[in-house]
Amino acid sequence: MANIKYYSGKKIPLEMHKVRIVQKLRLLPIEERLDAITKAGNNTFLLNNRDVFLDMLTDSGVNAMSDQQEAAMMIADDSYAGSETFVRFESKLKEIFGMDYVLPFHQGRACENILSQVFVGEGQIVPMNYHFTTTKAHININGGRVEEIIIDAGLEVTSNHSFKGNMDPEKLKKIVHEHGREKIAFVRMEAGTNLVGGQPFSMQNLRDIRQVCDAHQLILVMDASLLSDNLHFIKTKEEACQHLSIREITRQMADLCDIIYFSARKLGCARGGGMCIRTPELYGTMKELIPLYEGFLTYGGMSVREIEAITVGLEETMDEDIIDQGPQFIEYMVNELDKRGIPVVTPPGGLGCHIDAKCFVDHIPQTEYPAGALASALYLISGIRGMERGTISEQREEDGTEVLANMELLRLALPRRVFTMSQIEYAIDRLSWLYEHRKLVRGLVFTEEPQILRFFFGKLRPVSDWQQKLCQQFKKDFGDSL
Ligand code: F0G
């Protein structure tokens, strides 16, 4: 964001945009919130948005669009084949990432589906800085497995490391040495590493990983869904890149990769997905699968109106004023919570503010899902919908053993340009109250547990009547306030 100092010396992020379309919100009384979260099986995915006050579930498909994006939607060309809209999308991607081949997908996980079908064979390994839920599921379905080789600091909840999303090149060399290069389907670097708190990797790290890939002829794939946040951090924290424009940083990153795919529900602030590919060999087999799973090559399952909006959104991602807003609001929220002693992932990353549930409710065992319980409790006392990113988001072993997550996080996503500073202050206030009364919060147990991606549809119940007790305390402290 532009460098604007306050006379008071306060550090408050200042938006370089104004709001021109608004959506009315409702904040239900706490009794109705208890009813809603109970019906939702204590799973925030199952709440109806009409019962939610601040929707911090995700930044996916819910970022505010610009007037330019809305305007572009009006000129969409909806011809099935050879659409002008696709030509604009393709040329914008080629211009930004400098790769010759572009494929359209209906969203990010659709890229992962085809990537895994084509490149992952039975028993193969995909080393990555860290997994994302859908990525891992697609690799596993195709008989492969994920090896997470993030640097050690990446799994420390609090740290001063600026690039906790870095991959450890030594760990990558070790995997190649132990298993041989034939066993490795591809290497995946996730920008703005989602599940460890939206943490970036550095340009230098990407360069180091490229070197290892070159030495062993490995394909390097970047998941660029959270690239905009990662670009902000490289620009503001990596000294060697500070003289570069966002466009130059983007190109330098792309030049180190063979394939880049993204969810345009995040990158480009609309709804869709895409993939850029360097060589005709890599492009060939994937291209054939697009009409089978997505749609014709010039729309790939997306609405042409959305494709127009993504094209403009990608160009807007090259504007520092636009990409800085998210990380700066997150930094404000994280720092304010940290000042109050509330355990948060540090340094502040992209995507959202991540509360360390293992520490916040350290009396709840991991087998009773501390992050899930905290998500339920926060909705109950504030109407804020966050997302569990802990053990519930993992999948049991085949023999039924729980896989305990490395981190138990409650993610409070800040969709880009959506919330105002007073709404952030409200979230900080309610989290502070909940922290005071954290001992009232207890665990959850599954009542319905799907086998795949259980966090989406699973239902849970509280282990005791702790939610009623939390409601009573709320009424005592807040009286008739919503
Ligand atoms: N990769 C990353 C890093 C993501 O964060 C996501 C989605 C995907 C791939 C899949 O993309 O949703 O378009 O199919 N993340 C969302 C989230 C769901 O809430 O964090 P998609």
Nearest one of 135, 161, 166 to 149, comparing CA atoms: 166
Report whether residue 328 contacts ligand 1, using a CB cutoff of 6 Å. no
Name the pTM for this structure: 0.96
Of 56, 109, 310, 409, the one to substitute when testing ligand 1's pocket (max ligand atoms within 8 A of C-beta) is 109
Residues 75 and 166 in one domain: yes
Residues 237 and 335 in one domain: no
Domain contains 16: no
Residues 97 and 214 in one domain: yes
Q: Which one is catalytic: 59, 223, 229, 258?
A: 223
Cα–Cα distances in Å, from 282 out to 98, 123, 327, 372, 396?
16, 21, 34, 40, 34
In 357-458 the beta strands, taken as DSSP E runs, fall at 384-385, 387-389, 409-413, 444-448
Report whether residue 134 contacts ligand 1, using a CB cutoff of 6 Å. yes
Residues 329 and 268 in one domain: no
Per-residue pLDDT, 427: 98
Domain contains 455: yes
Active site residue 53: no
Residues 300 and 413 in one domain: no
Distance CA 448, CA 452 (A): 12
Report whether residue 268 contacts ligand 1, using a CB cutoff of 6 Å. no
Partner residues linked to 260 by β-bridges: 222, 276
Residues 238 and 341 in one domain: no
Model confidence at 6: pLDDT above 80: yes
Model confidence at 451: pLDDT above 70: yes
Active site residue 223: yes
Residues 273 and 312 in one domain: yes
Atom of ligand 1 at shortest range from CA of 110: 14
Domain contains 6: no
> Residue of the nearest CA to atom 8 in ligand 1?
108
Residues 113 and 204 in one domain: yes
Residues 311 and 429 in one domain: no
Type of residue found at 99: M
Domain contains 135: yes
**Mean pLDDT, residues 134-151:** 97
Residues 331 and 303 in one domain: no
- Cβ–Cβ < 8 Å for 198, 160: no
- Cβ–Cβ < 8 Å for 304, 76: yes
SS (H, E, C) 277-338: ECCHHHHHHHHHHHHHHCCCCCCCCCCHHHHHHHHHHHHHCCCHHHHHHHHHHHHHHHHHHH
> Residue of the nearest CA to atom 11 in ligand 1?
108
Residues 118 and 228 in one domain: yes
Gap from CA of 60 to ligand 1 centroid (Å): 7
What is the separation of C-alpha 64 from the centre of its chain, rounded to a whole number of angstroms?
16
Domain contains 24: no
Report whether residue 60 contacts ligand 1, using a CB cutoff of 6 Å. yes
Per-residue pLDDT, 392: 97
| CATH code assigned at 424 | 3.90.1150.10
pLDDT digits (tens, 9 = 90+) for 260-309: 999 999 999 999 999 999 999 999 999 999 999 999 999 999 999 999 99
Check whether the bond before 348 is cis (ω within 30° of 0): no
Among 316, 344, 371, where does a domain finish?
316
DSSP state at residue 452: S
Domain contains 375: yes
Among 281, 316, 351, where does a domain finish?
316
Under the banding of pLDDT at 50, 70 and 90, the label for residue 60 is very high
Per-residue pLDDT, 2: 72
DSSP state at residue 440: G
Cα–Cα distances in Å, from 256 out to 128, 220, 405, 448?
15, 8, 31, 44
Model confidence at 338: pLDDT above 80: yes
Report whether residue 194 contacts ligand 1, using a CB cutoff of 6 Å. yes
Q: Which residues of 91-109 are buried (b: 16+ CB within 10 A; e: fewer)?
A: ebbeebbebebbbbbbbbb
Report whether residue 250 contacts ligand 1, using a CB cutoff of 6 Å. no
Domain contains 22: no
Type of residue found at 253: M
Provide the 10 A C-beta neighbour count for residue 402. 14
Among 254, 287, 316, where does a domain finish?
316
Cβ-proximal residues to 36 (8 Å cutoff; 6+ apart), any chain = 28, 47, 48, 51, 379
Q: Which one is catalytic: 11, 35, 67, 80?
A: 80
pLDDT digits (tens, 9 = 90+) for 159-205: 999 999 999 999 999 999 999 999 999 999 999 999 999 999 999 99
Gap from CA of 263 to ligand 1 centroid (Å): 6
Domain contains 13: no
- DSSP secondary structure, 164-177, as one string: TT-B-HHHHHHHHH
Type of residue found at 439: K
| CATH code assigned at 75 | 3.40.640.10
Q: Which domain holds residue 181?
A: 67-316
Distance CA 236, CA 254 (A): 19
Active site residue 132: yes
pLDDT digits (tens, 9 = 90+) for 83-111: 999 999 999 999 999 999 999 999 999 99
Under the banding of pLDDT at 50, 70 and 90, the label for residue 1 is low
Residues 263 and 311 in one domain: yes
Active site residue 236: no
Per-residue pLDDT, 453: 87
Per-residue pLDDT, 332: 97
Atom of ligand 1 at shortest range from CA of 111: 14
Nearest one of 412, 408, 415 to 431, comparing CA atoms: 412
How many domains is the chain partitioned into structurally? 2
